[in-house]
Structure 1
Amino acid sequence: MVIGDGTYIKKMNRDLILQEIFTQKKISRANLSKKTGLNKATISSQVGDLIKDHFIFETQEKHSGLGRRPILLSINEESAYFLGIDLDYENILFNVMNLKGDTVLFEKVDLFSDIYEEIVELLANKISQYKTIFADSTYGLAQVTIGIHGTVSTDETIYFIPKYQWREKDLKKDLMARGIKNVYIENNANLSAYAEKVFYYHQSNHLLNITLSTGIGAGIIINGNLQKGYNGHAGEIGHMIVYPKGRPCRCGNEGCWERYASEPALLNRAKHVLPVNISSHADLEKLVDNRDKDAIKVINDWLADVSIGLNNIINIYNPEMIVLNSPILNFYPHALEELDKHLVSSVSNYHKIAVSELGGKAGVVGACAIGIQRFMGLPQLSLLGTNNITVNEANL
């Protein structure tokens, strides 16, 4: 039995109601009472407050039967907007969602500088532009979440970004100095894991999201919660040493997993082995489509290195769901079958491995979603079935 004061109980009831409306999309007061177990008086009072605050609204459904048309409650998607930013090495992704979790705007900006002050200025200018665009809504651009491809401490400061060689940067403070408020800084892999849970695997409480891109990072969800470690640096699995005294890494060690299993590692392997020019994963995709045996062997050898890290991670975390995010895995039809050949340890145990459907937008979409959860003050969020990705950006 939960015991607490009136304010605490009211907040719990509000969360139950909002979570159900987010999940069901449209629901009547009567069904809301059945789903939550709250009485009609509590439902009526809470719904009245949520309507007053412009978080939900009422609609009457069309139907051909006799009697009154049912009145349904829905999230008021236009009342607030959320900006997610993925700060990668060569480009920045900007994604805006409404309160319902639908993507309403997406932009990719190429970067031609790695100077910290210049990028901070660019971010501040872009965020200000988005604030202006959505200024007419009730709550405007309510939250901004920035995903970092590096270690982020629990106080939201950037500890280290290997690609930029940035250390001890307080991006949040520097943006605030330029008038940008309501900013949250998080590791990109954590945001990607959060996105997978919120949009696709809501029932999975033990989920690992592994991103194989310019580097390798993991978002770890245990018992439904993101696990960040002692000071927020958990999940830097790309710097797990898999080949002692192997290739040097920008982190300072040798033989790191990402030096063998990241996308640049695969492309570098392909350039040295294949007789044709390989500059991107799209070049490899063309060869795979033509069933080029040498290209397929290069990918299979790369997958063998991917599996080394996967074996270690599975044995450490015993995950229910493993989501792999990589453009190569999306176009190579036998990727999961090839990985399975190497995951043969008698002590390894997991439920399922899947390839991410969010692709390169996972982090930026997760950034928007975590903004919604923080703004609404919800303990958990489900946005299953929302328009979180568009066809044009599916293969980023």
Structure 2
Amino acid sequence: MVTGDAAYIKKINRSLIIREIIKEGMISRADLSKSTNLTRATISAQVADLLAEGLIIETHLEHLTVGRKPIMLSLNGQAGYALGIDLDYGQISFTLTDLIGSPVTSNIIRISTVEYTEICHLLVEQIKKYKTEFNDSRYGIVGVVIAIHGLVGKDEIIHYVPRFNWHGINLISDLEREIDLPIHLENNANLSSFAERVYIHHETDNLLCTTLYSGIGLGMMMNDDFFRGNEGYAGEIGHMIVVPGGKPCNCGNKGCWEKYASETVIFEYLSEKRQIENLTYEHIQTWLDEGDEEVHEMMEQFIFYLSIGLNNMINMYNPDVLVLDSELLRIYPDSLNKITKNLNSSISHYRELMISTIGNKSCVLGACALAIKQFLDVPMLNLPYDITTNRIGSALIY
């Protein structure tokens, strides 16, 4: 039984109510009372507060039966915005969503520098633009979450970003001197796993999401929270050694998994071999469609080494759901079945292995969702996603 003072109990009840409204999309007061096990008096008082704050809205359902029209409650998505930022090597992606996670606008800015002061200045400039442009709602931008492709401690200090060669950076402090908004940092793979949990796998308690783009990262959602390790650096699975004495890695070891099973390996090799400076997925798709033997062999090798690491991960964590976030796997025919056939250990147990349906937007959308969660102060979100149309909320992923 939860005990505490009245204010604390009220906060817990508020959180339960908001989470249930988000989960159901639309719900009546009576059903809200049943699903939360709170009294109707408590529901009425809390709902009155949330309506006054503009966080929820009432809708009268039209129906043909005799009697009063039911009044349904839903989250007011237009009450504010969340800004997610993916700070990656060569580009910074920005996505702004409403409070139900539907994208409002997205933008990508290419960068040719790794200098911290330049990138920090660019972030300040862009965040201020968003803050000015989207101040038409009651709460404006409710929070900013920035995805970091490197080690972020529990104190949100950037310990190390390999491709930027950043060490011990306090980005939040530098941004907050210029911007009056709640700002948080999180590892990119963690945010991808959060997006998968929030938008797709609503009832999953143990979810792993492996991102395979510029390296290999692992985001772990366990019991509605990130698994971070002692200082917050858990998930650097790309530096698990799969080939002893193999290819040298920037981390200092040899034979790291990401030197064999990340998309970067294939892009770098084909770019150099075929003298194409800006190699794209479209190039690889064309070669696959044409039956290019070398590209097909590379993809088979990619899947072989990917399966080795996945087998280790499954045995270590025994996940409920394991999501693979890779555009190459999405375009390579029958890739999931080929991976599954390689996972034939009798002691490996998982319920579902799948390729992400959100795709490379999962990181920045996870950042938006985390900003929403922190603003609403709820333990977890279940936001709408239409898998048949590749739509988040009511807006197309773009």
User: Which residue of structure 1 lines up, in the alignment, with residue 331 of structure 2?
Assistant: 331
Distance of 1:181 and 1:277 partners within structure 2: 39
What are the equivalent positions in structure 2 for 1:237-276 lying under 5 Å apart?
237-270=237-270
What are the equivalent positions in structure 2 for 1:191-210 lying under 5 Å apart?
191-210=191-210
User: Which residue of structure 2 lines up, in the alignment, with residue 226 of structure 1?
Assistant: 226
User: Which residue of structure 2 lines up, in the alignment, with residue 45 of structure 1?
Assistant: 45
What are the equivalent positions in structure 2 for 1:18-37 lying under 5 Å apart?
18-37=18-37
Which amino acid letter does the alignment assign opposite residue 388 of structure 1?
A: I
Distance of 1:35 and 1:285 partners within structure 2: 48
User: Which residue of structure 2 lines up, in the alignment, with residue 388 of structure 1?
Assistant: 392
Distance of 2:328 and 2:49 partners within structure 1: 48
Contact map agreement 1:128 1:180 (CA 8 A) in 2: no
Distance of 1:96 and 1:272 partners within structure 2: 36
Contact map agreement 2:207 2:320 (CA 8 A) in 1: yes
3-state SS of 1:250 partner: coil
Which amino acid letter does the alignment assign opposite residue 34 of structure 2?
A: K
User: Which residue of structure 2 lines up, in the alignment, with residue 93 of structure 1?
Assistant: 93
Contact map agreement 1:159 1:168 (CA 8 A) in 2: yes
What are the equivalent positions in structure 2 for 1:126-165 lying under 5 Å apart?
126-165=126-165
Which amino acid letter does the alignment assign opposite residue 100 of structure 1?
A: I
User: Which residue of structure 2 lines up, in the alignment, with residue 235 of structure 1?
Assistant: 235
Distance of 1:262 and 1:159 partners within structure 2: 22
Alpha-carbon deviation of 1:180?
4.5
Contact map agreement 1:238 1:258 (CA 8 A) in 2: yes
User: Which residue of structure 2 lines up, in the alignment, with residue 347 of structure 1?
Assistant: 347
Alpha-carbon deviation of 1:388?
2.6
Contact map agreement 1:205 1:225 (CA 8 A) in 2: no
1:67 paired to 2:67: yes
Alpha-carbon deviation of 1:181?
3.1
User: Which residue of structure 2 lines up, in the alignment, with residue 320 of structure 1?
Assistant: 320
User: Which residue of structure 2 lines up, in the alignment, with residue 81 of structure 1?
Assistant: 81
Distance of 1:130 and 1:64 partners within structure 2: 45
Distance of 2:165 and 2:275 partners within structure 1: 34
Alpha-carbon deviation of 1:273?
7.5
CA 278–79 in structure 1, closer or farther in 2 if over 3 Å, else same: closer
Contact map agreement 1:365 1:388 (CA 8 A) in 2: no
1:375 paired to 2:375: yes
Distance of 2:274 and 2:122 partners within structure 1: 39
TM-score (ref. length: structure 1): 0.94
User: Which residue of structure 2 lines up, in the alignment, with residue 103 of structure 1?
Assistant: 103
Of 55-64 and 140-149, more deviation after overlay is shown by 55-64
3-state SS of 2:322 partner: strand
Report the count of equivalent residues. 393
CA 103–244 in structure 1, closer or farther in 2 if over 3 Å, else same: same
Alpha-carbon deviation of 1:62?
2.4
Distance of 1:275 and 1:48 partners within structure 2: 64
Contact map agreement 2:87 2:148 (CA 8 A) in 1: yes
Unaligned runs of 5+ in 2: none
Distance of 1:367 and 1:127 partners within structure 2: 14
Contact map agreement 2:224 2:379 (CA 8 A) in 1: no
Alpha-carbon deviation of 1:232?
0.7
3-state SS of 2:392 partner: coil
Distance of 2:270 and 2:118 partners within structure 1: 34
3-state SS of 2:202 partner: coil
Distance of 1:98 and 1:391 partners within structure 2: 13
3-state SS of 2:131 partner: helix
User: Which residue of structure 2 lines up, in the alignment, with residue 281 of structure 1?
Assistant: 281
Of 315-324 and 273-282, more deviation after overlay is shown by 273-282
Distance of 1:169 and 1:275 partners within structure 2: 36
User: Which residue of structure 2 lines up, in the alignment, with residue 365 of structure 1?
Assistant: 365
Sequence identity, in percent? Answer: 43
CA 274–336 in structure 1, closer or farther in 2 if over 3 Å, else same: farther
Distance of 1:219 and 1:266 partners within structure 2: 23
Alpha-carbon deviation of 1:248?
1.5
User: Which residue of structure 1 lines up, in the alignment, with residue 178 of structure 2?
Assistant: 178
Unaligned runs of 5+ in 1: none
Alpha-carbon deviation of 1:275?
11
User: Which residue of structure 2 lines up, in the alignment, with residue 304 of structure 1?
Assistant: 304
CA 276–367 in structure 1, closer or farther in 2 if over 3 Å, else same: closer
Which amino acid letter does the alignment assign opposite residue 141 of structure 2?
A: L
User: Which residue of structure 2 lines up, in the alignment, with residue 11 of structure 1?
Assistant: 11
CA 87–55 in structure 1, closer or farther in 2 if over 3 Å, else same: same
TM-score (ref. length: structure 2): 0.94
Which amino acid letter does the alignment assign opposite residue 193 of structure 2?
A: A
Contact map agreement 2:384 2:392 (CA 8 A) in 1: no
CA offsets per residue over residues 104-153 of structure 1, 9 Å max, x none?
Answer: 11111111211110000000000000101121211111100000000001
Alpha-carbon deviation of 1:17?
1.1
User: Which residue of structure 2 lines up, in the alignment, with residue 121 of structure 1?
Assistant: 121
